[in-house]
């Protein structure tokens, strides 16, 4: 393997994602010694740029974010020397053939593996895949392509995209990223469940009352309105990030940790889901709000968003898995932008303890006394379990306390960014954290009918002030299933 080489081409190198995530992640991998000995990174985009200009652009995005960085500057220089730029059109075989020539020079006759990261919109990525696979694929090693969402807007467009991709690539060359799968606590979900005896026996309708998947951001779509308006929060967050977490949470024990075994189980859960009905969905959109002398914009204040847009920036949904394990257990999802905080978490609310031994100590609100397991994916990663405990003293008073695994206190090592793990996996050919096409189909089947209905019926979103806790409709939805959102205390 020492004599093989990996060439990584970031297509769409001057875009936001490349600057914010891809180059920094590649540098972090380099810093950690995770990249192969022989590697070259190419930025590919339409604008004219020299290698030096690319290096300058990339250098501004790199941080020495890990502790004890004495030699970080040095490492950055080494890394930047391995970065190059090629200017070309996304649909030009000729331009990709020129890239191929340059890559070959760097590869110097070694076994050459090629990774293309397509950080460009889907309407142009098919042509880029065509050109890359016909004019710039490896003659002797592997060629892999990472694609970012959105993978279509519904079942039909997604299937068309998959079909088009498969003209040029086989399924095992396609790495569909959902970066939530690269997050430390999402990956840990299976460890928590399957390697601790105390959790797995409780993981079913018998002991779990409901599961909540919550995503919130404290900023709006500023600057991304053009993209966002075409998709909305259900497609942007629920259909992928939250649904992927749900699948990992709810799947049966896989036969092994192999990618296919895990993905087989995820698909099964997704295919067991009850069709989502319109009445189980609440949508919202943020409106302008002034606080402390600052006026925060409405979603429709964004110049790239039509003034009469009905696109949801918030959604809540009640989902059900019609299988033996989860029959009747509500899985509630909530996702929104321009809310009061930034957070992603999983909340598992357990059933009441049967009998009445201590219940009278709590007064009437029994729901407040059930155990709740919280997996805080971000920020400030933590896993904690709310338990009932005796308040120390001579009397007998109970309160709720947390058994708390707080990552910052427990682990001194910084948590890698999701993109680091995913890029490394793609280089190593590990597919466990990437979305297989049947998973994608199942995810779209769940949301497509309701999305179509929302759009056809022109359902008006419930307006909520920027920076608030979101529409009150989300509470009514939860209440219908006897659920109270755990994040609201």
Which amino acids are annotated catalytic?
Answer: 241
Among residues 245 and 344, whose Cβ is nearest to ligand BG6? 344
Q: Which of residues 423-482 bind ligand BG6 (CB under 6 A)?
A: none
- Integer CA distances (angstroms), 361 to 297, 365, 400, in order: 47, 10, 12
DSSP, residue by residue, 303-358: TTS-TT----SEEEEEE-B-STTTTT--EEEEEESSBS--EEEEEEEEPPPSSSTT
Instruction: Indicate the SS3 state at residue 249.
Output: helix
Instruction: Indicate the SS3 state at residue 396.
Output: coil
Partners of residue 5 on adjacent β-strands: 112
How many residues of this chain interact with ligand BG6, rule: CB under 6 A?
4
346/281 Cα distance (integer angstroms): 19
381 contacts ligand BG6 (rule: CB under 6 A)? no
Strand 281-287 and strand 398-406: the pairing is unpaired
Who contacts 170 (Cβ-Cβ below 8 Å, separation ≥6)? none
Q: How far is the CB of 344 from ligand BG6 (least distance, A)?
A: 6
Q: How far is the CB of 411 from ligand BG6 (least distance, A)?
A: 20
Q: How far is the CB of 236 from ligand BG6 (least distance, A)?
A: 5
Among residues 344 and 424, whose Cβ is nearest to ligand BG6? 344
Residue with nearest beta carbon to ligand BG6: 236
Answer for the pair 221, 299: CB distance below 8 angstroms, yes or no. Answer: yes
Answer for the pair 151, 177: CB distance below 8 angstroms, yes or no. Answer: no
Among residues 42 and 125, whose Cβ is nearest to ligand BG6? 125
Residues 139-172 as b/e (b if ≥16 CB within 10 A, e otherwise) read: eebbbbbbbbbbbbbbbeebbebbebbeebbeee
Among residues 339 and 344, whose Cβ is nearest to ligand BG6? 344
Among residues 227 and 358, whose Cβ is nearest to ligand BG6? 227
Q: Measured on CA atoms in the order 364, 365, 367, 368, is the torsion positive or negative?
A: negative
Provide the edge-to-edge strand list for the sheet that holds 143-147.
83-87, 39-45, 4-11, 111-118, 143-147, 174-176
Q: Count CB neighbours of 451 within 10 A.
A: 22
Residues 193-232 vs ligand BG6: string with x where CB under 6 A?
------------------------x---------------
Strand 462-465 and strand 398-406: the pairing is unpaired
Q: Give the containing element (helix H, strand E) for 445.
A: helix 437-456
Q: Which of residues 53-112 bind ligand BG6 (CB under 6 A)?
A: none
Q: Which of residues 171-190 bind ligand BG6 (CB under 6 A)?
A: 179
Phi, psi dihedrals of residue 416, rounded to the nearest 5°:
-65, 155
Among residues 236 and 265, whose Cβ is nearest to ligand BG6? 236
Q: Count CB neighbours of 255 within 10 A.
A: 11
Q: How far is the CB of 424 from ligand BG6 (least distance, A)?
A: 17
Q: How far is the CB of 21 from ligand BG6 (least distance, A)?
A: 9
Among residues 83 and 177, whose Cβ is nearest to ligand BG6? 177
Among residues 132 and 344, whose Cβ is nearest to ligand BG6? 344
Site for ligand BG6 (CB under 6 A): which residue of 8, 119, 211, 236?
236
Residues that bind ligand BG6 (CB under 6 A): 179, 217, 236, 344
């Amino acid at each position: 393997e020492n004599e093989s080489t990996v060439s990584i081409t970031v297509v769409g190198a001057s875009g936001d994602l490349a600057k914010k995530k891809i180059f920094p992640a590649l540098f972090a991998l380099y810093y950690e010694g995770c990249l192969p000995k022989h590697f070259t990174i190419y930025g590919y985009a339409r604008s004219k740029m020299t290698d030096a200009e690319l290096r300058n652009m990339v250098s501004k995005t790199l941080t020495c974010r890990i502790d004890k960085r004495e030699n970080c500057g040095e490492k950055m220089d080494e890394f930047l020397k391995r970065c190059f730029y090629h200017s070309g059109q996304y649909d030009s075989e000729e331009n990709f053939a020129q890239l191929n020539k340059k890559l070959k020079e760097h590869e110097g006759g070694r076994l050459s593996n090629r990774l293309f990261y397509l950080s460009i919109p889907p309407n142009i990525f098919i042509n880029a895949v065509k050109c890359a696979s016909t004019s710039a694929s490896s003659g002797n090693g592997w060629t892999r392509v990472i694609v970012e969402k959105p993978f279509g807007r519904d079942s039909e467009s997604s299937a068309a995209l998959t079909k088009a991709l498969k003209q040029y690539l086989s399924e095992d060359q396609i790495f569909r990223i959902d970066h939530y799968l690269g997050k430390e606590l999402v990956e840990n979900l299976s460890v928590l469940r399957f390697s601790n005896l105390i959790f797995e026996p409780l993981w079913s309708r018998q002991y779990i009352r409901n599961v909540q998947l919550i995503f919130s951001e404290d900023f709006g779509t500023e600057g991304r309105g053009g993209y966002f308006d075409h998709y909305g929060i259900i497609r942007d967050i629920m259909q992928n990030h939250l649904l992927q977490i749900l699948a990992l949470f709810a799947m049966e024990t896989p036969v092994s940790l192999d990618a296919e075994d895990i993905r087989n189980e995820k698909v099964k859960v997704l295919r067991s889901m009850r069709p989502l009905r319109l009445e189980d969905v609440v949508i919202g959109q943020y409106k302008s709000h002034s606080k402390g002398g600052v006026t925060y914009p409405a979603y429709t204040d964004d110049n790239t968003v039509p003034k009469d847009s009905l696109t949801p920036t918030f959604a809540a949904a009640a989902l059900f898995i019609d299988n033996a394990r989860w029959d009747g257990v509500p899985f509630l999802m909530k996702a929104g932008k321009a809310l009061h905080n930034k957070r992603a978490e999983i909340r598992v609310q357990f059933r009441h303890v049967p009998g009445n031994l201590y219940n009278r100590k709590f007064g009437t609100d029994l729901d407040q006394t059930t155990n709740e397991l919280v997996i805080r994916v971000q920020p400030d990663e933590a896993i904690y379990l709310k338990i009932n405990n005796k308040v120390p003293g001579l009397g007998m008073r109970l309160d709720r306390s947390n058994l708390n695994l707080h990552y910052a206190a427990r682990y001194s090592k910084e948590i890698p960014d999701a993109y680091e793990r995913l890029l490394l996996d793609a280089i190593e050919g590990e597919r466990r954290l990437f979305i297989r096409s049947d998973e994608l189909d199942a995810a779209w089947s769940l949301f497509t009918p309701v999305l179509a209905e929302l759009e056809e019926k022109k359902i008006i979103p419930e307006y909520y002030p920027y920076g608030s806790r979101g529409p009150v409709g989300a509470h009514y939805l939860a209440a219908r299933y006897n659920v109270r959102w755990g994040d609201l205390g």
